[in-house]
Amino acid sequence: MFKKILIANRGEIAVRVIRACRELGVQAVAVYSEADRDSPHVWLADEAYPIGSAPATESYLRGDRLIEVALRTGCEAIHPGYGFLAERPAFAHAVESAGLVFIGPPGDAMAALGDKTEARRTVKKAGVAVVPGIDWPVADLDLLKKKAEELGYPVLVKAAAGGGGKGMRIVWAAEELAAAFRGAAHEAEFAFGDRRLYVEKYLESPRHIEIQVLADNLGNVIHLGERECSIQRRHQKMIEESPSPALTPDLRDAMGRAAVAAASAAGYHNAGTVEFLFRDGRFYFLEVNARIQVEHPVTEMVTGIDLVQAQLRIASGEPLWIRQEDVRWQGHALECRISGEDPWNNFFPSTGRIEVLRVPGGPGVRWDSGVVQGSEVGLHYDPLLAKLIVHALDRPAAIVRMQRALEELVIQGVATTVPFHLAVMDEPDFRSGNYDIRYVEAHPDLLRRDPGDLARRAAAVAAALLEEAARLRALPLAPPDSDATGREWRRGASLTRPWRGSWTGR
C-alpha cells in the first residue's frame, strides 16, 4: 500500500478520498485554489498546498503544478477524483512519466474509452450492443448531416472526447443540426479541449442504467451491479438508486456480463462505470466513465465494498480480493445530489455563504459533503455541495428514509435542490419505479408551491436558527490566531490542522 498520495481535486470527492486514505493508514496531500483556502478538504488532509487562483484553468487543471507538488512532497501516487483531469489520458501519461502511479485506468485504456467513438468500436468487437450511430468523429457539418439523415431524426450530436452531458445536443429535425453542431463543438472544446463530434440515434425515453466494475492489474474483472441514473436534468444526474426498479435478475446478470466484457476488451484497470441505455427490455452500450463516479456511494451501501479503498488497493498492485460469485447485494440505496441551484428559479446557480447547516442522521443515513457551515459557495466550480445517501431494507423503506432525511436537512444562506428532491420522493411515478430519462420534462408540476409544505419547511428553518444561535453562544471565543477564522471551537476540544505548505511554483 502507498504511504502518501496527492489528491488532485476538491470538494466532496477530495474529502471522500482523504477518509479512505486515513482508514488505510495512507497520508493524504491536498491542493487548493485561492477560492478553496478554507475548504474542508484542506484542513482534513495531512498536508495542503496552494496551486493557483480560483479559475480551474489556473489551478485544478494545471497538471504540471499538481505533479510538481506530488514530487516535492514525496507522494507515490495521484488520485484524480472525478471531473477536472480525471479522464485526461495526457495527464495519466504525465503522472506515469514522472514516476508516479495514476490511481485510475492506464492512459492507453483511458484514451480508448475516453474517445467515445473508439469506445464504440472496442466494445462492438467484444460483442456488446451499441446505440445505432457512427463509429468515427465527424468534423464536417455536411458529413454530419448526411449521417444524421441515414440514422433518421431525432439524433444525438455528442462530443467524442468526454461525457457528463457536456457537448451534447438533441436534434429533432434537419434545420436544427447546424446550431446544434456549433453549440456542441464549442461546449466540447471548452470542457475537454477537443471539439470533435459524432452522431448516434436518439432513443426516446430510455432508462439510464450503469454497471460498476472493478478490474485489477492481472486481468481479473468483476461487476458490482447496477445504478439507475434516469432522474436527470439537462443530461446531469440528480437522483440515483441501486438496484434499479426496472431490472430482473436475468437482465442484471446480462448487463453485468456485458460490462465486464467491455472493460476486459479495453484492458481496463481500477474502478470504472459502464453506462447503458435500457428500453423495452433491451440495453445498449453508451460509454465508459474511466473514474470513480459521483454516485458510487449507492453501490457501496448495497454491496458493503468501499470503492475508493478498492481503487487504492488495486493501484498499489493488489489483486482483486473478491470473486464475482462472492458479490452480494443487500437492501436498497438512494442518493440525492444537493447542489447550489435554485429549483424555484429554473435551477439558476445560487451563491453566497452557508449560514446554517444542519445535517440529517440516524440509521442508514450518509452525508458526503465538501462544505461546512460558513463555507462560501461561488461560481468557479460545479454547484454540487453534497450528497445525501440512504440505505434501507427495500425501495419503499429507502424512499421513506430519504424523505425523512431531506426534511431534517437545513441549509440556510444559499438556495439548494432540496425542494426538488422532496417533490420527487412524493411523486407517484417515481414511487412506483415508472420513470425514464425524460422524467423531469414529463413532470413540469413537480415544483408547484405547496403552502403547507413551505410552512413546514419555514418552521424547520426557524427552529434550526434558534438552535444554532444557542449553540454559538455556548462556544468559547476563538484564540488570537488568524488561522482560526471561520473555524469551530469547543471547550476542551483540540483542532488538528494540516501542514500548510508555501509552495508557489509555476
Q: Other C-beta atoms within 10 Å of 397: how many?
A: 15
Strand bridging mode 27-33 / 47-52: parallel
Query: For residues 144 and 134, is the Cβ–Cβ distance under 8 A?
Result: no
- Cα radius of gyration (the chain): 23
328 given a catalytic annotation? no
* 3-state secondary structure (DSSP) of residue 289: strand
Q: Phi/psi of residue 475, each to 5°?
A: -80, 145
Backbone torsions φ then ψ of 67, nearest 5 degrees:
-65, -40
Determine which one of 291, 337, 366, 395 is catalytic: 291
Query: Which of 306, 342, 380, 341 lies closest to 11, judged by CA?
Result: 380
Q: How far apart are the first and last CA of the chain?
A: 31
Closest of 130, 128, 170, 164 to residue 148, by C-alpha: 170
C-alpha of 482 from chain center: 34
DSSP bridge pairs for 276: 209, 285
DSSP per-residue letters across 32-75: EEGGGTT-HHHHHSSEEEEEE-SSGGGTTT-HHHHHHHHHHTT-
Could you tell me if 160 and 194 are in contact, meaning their C-beta atoms sit under 8 angstroms apart? yes
Name the nearest CA neighbour of 52 among 13, 10, 99: 10
Question: Among all residues, which ones are annotated catalytic?
Answer: 291
